[in-house]
Amino acid sequence: MGSVINRIQGILEELPKSEAKVGRAILADPSKIVKMSIHELAENSGASGAAVIRFCHSMGLEGFPELKMKLSVELVQPEKTGYYDIEPNEDFEEITRKLVSNTVQTLNDTVGQLDKAKVLLACDILQQADTIYAYGVGASWLIAEDIAQKWMRAGKHAIAIADPHILAMAFAAGSKEAVFFAVSNSGETSEVLQLADEALNNGLELLSLTRFGQNKLKQKATVALETSRAPETELRSAATSSRQAQFLVIDILFYFYASHHYEEMIEQIRASREATNRFRES
Same domain? 158 vs 244: yes
Average pLDDT over residues 53-69: 93
As a whole number, the mean pLDDT across the chain is 89
Same domain? 51 vs 125: no
Same domain? 25 vs 139: no
Q: Which of 20, 51, 76 is the last residue of a domain?
A: 76
Please say if the pLDDT value at position 231 is more than 70: no
DSSP character for 14?
G
Q: What's the pLDDT score for residue 236?
A: 57
Q: What's the pLDDT score for residue 235?
A: 52
Count up the domains in the chain and report the number.
2
Q: Is residue 87, in this structure, part of any structural domain at all?
A: no
Q: Is residue 173, in this structure, part of any structural domain at all?
A: yes
Separation of alpha carbons 84 and 30, rounded Å? 20
Q: Which of 49, 76, 103 is the last residue of a domain?
A: 76
Q: Is residue 235, in this structure, part of any structural domain at all?
A: yes
Same domain? 266 vs 156: yes
Separation of alpha carbons 124 and 51, rounded Å? 35
More confident residue, 73 or 240: 73
8 Å CB contact between 101 and 114: no
Separation of alpha carbons 233 and 216, rounded Å? 23
Q: Is residue 90, in this structure, part of any structural domain at all?
A: no
Same domain? 135 vs 23: no
Q: Which of 76, 104, 130 is the last residue of a domain?
A: 76
Q: What's the pLDDT score for residue 86?
A: 78
Average pLDDT over residues 250-271: 87
Q: What's the pLDDT score for residue 82?
A: 66
pTM here?
Answer: 0.80
In which domain, by residue range, is 130 found?
Answer: 113-280
Please say if the pLDDT value at position 198 is more than 90: yes
Tell me which of 36-50, 63-77, 133-147, 198-212 is least confident. 63-77
